């Protein structure tokens, strides 16, 4: 199976901030009015992986885990394609989680969890930064801190493992596991080894920083060793941002053979 590399269009940061501000308002509108707004303003979801979209549309009774959901952008956009899917969203940052609750209240097929998935059941310090999407269990290195990324403080977040969560909820199959956790992807995967080794997760999508600004961030080889070593094939790399000579951040997508 070939691996495809695709590059997303770049968006300047002010546009990103405006988009993030308007999306919650848009999602609060009734479904019929949202459709009207889309037809008039051409408000479309962010570019999605062709392979990911094709894969999920071919599977019935889809179960999606969105780890590091923030305010639910990934899940809500995916919901447009598979409205019948069951979504489990995990977000430890309380302010984002409160917004997520408001946006998801109209859909019964969303289960929201104010915790993080990791490699153990415990608590961890969540570092909060000026731009909340950069929040992480890891600290940003001083040399990368800007006005947006200055540390605002820390909170204590609850963690559990994907294996334990699935055992408690009697979930025996995940069709799509999406992970966007700013440097701790390997912890999520290590906490899911039972499901991974049991061939109970079909597709894994990870937002990974190849040039990570976080201290002690996991590296691609660690992710690939866990997934490739357990029968997964890397099928697509969608470049989110790049530096002068290499990609900095990408969405990497694996499917079990």
Sorted by where each begins, the domain ranges of the chain are 4-256
pTM greater than 0.85 (yes/no): no
Share of the chain above pLDDT 70, in %: 74
Q: What are the respective helix, strand and coil percentages of the chain, to the nearest 5?
A: 35, 30, 35
- Quickly tell me which residue has 């000026």 as its tokens: 130
Instruction: Dig out the tokens for 181 from the structure.
Output: 């956790």
Q: Is the dihedral of CA 150, 152, 155, 157 positive or negative?
A: negative
What is the dotted CATH code of the domain comprising 4-256?
3.40.50.150
pLDDT digits (tens, 9 = 90+) for 64-103: 999 999 999 999 988 888 888 999 999 999 999 999 999 8
DSSP 68: T
pLDDT digits (tens, 9 = 90+) for 144-196: 555 556 778 899 999 999 999 999 999 999 999 999 999 999 999 999 999 99
Q: Using CB atoms within 10 Å of the CB of residue 1, give its burial: 0 to 12 exposed, 13 to 18 middle, 19+ buried.
A: exposed
Cα separations in angstroms, 234 against 36, 223, 228: 38, 11, 8
pLDDT band at 3 (very low <50, low <70, confident <90, very high): low
């Amino acid at each position: 199976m070939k691996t495809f590399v695709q590059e997303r269009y770049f968006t300047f940061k002010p546009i990103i901030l405006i988009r993030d501000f308007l999306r919650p308002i848009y999602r609060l509108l009734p479904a019929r009015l949202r459709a009207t707004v889309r037809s008039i303003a051409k408000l479309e979801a962010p570019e999605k992986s062709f392979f990911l979209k094709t894969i999920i549309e071919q599977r019935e009774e889809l179960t999606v885990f969105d780890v590091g959901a923030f305010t639910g952008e990934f899940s809500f956009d995916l919901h447009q394609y598979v409205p019948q899917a069951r979504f489990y969203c995990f977000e430890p940052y309380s302010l984002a989680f409160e917004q997520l609750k408001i946006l998801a209240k109209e859909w019964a097929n969303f289960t929201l969890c104010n915790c993080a998935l990791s490699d153990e059941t415990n608590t961890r310090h969540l570092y909060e930064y000026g731009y909340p999407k950069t929040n992480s269990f890891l600290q940003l290195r001083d040399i990368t801190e800007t006005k947006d990324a200055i540390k605002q403080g820390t909170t204590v977040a609850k963690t559990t493992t994907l294996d334990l969560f699935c055992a408690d909820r009697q979930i025996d199959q995940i069709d799509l596991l999406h992970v966007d956790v700013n440097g701790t992807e390997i912890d999520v995967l290590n906490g899911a080894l039972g499901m991974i080794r049991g061939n109970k997760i079909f597709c894994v999508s990870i937002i990974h920083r190849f040039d990570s600004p976080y201290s002690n961030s996991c590296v691609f080889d660690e992710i690939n060793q866990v997934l490739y070593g357990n029968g997964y094939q890397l099928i697509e790399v969608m470049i989110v941002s790049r530096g002068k000579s290499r990609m900095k951040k990408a969405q990497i997508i694996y499917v079990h053979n």
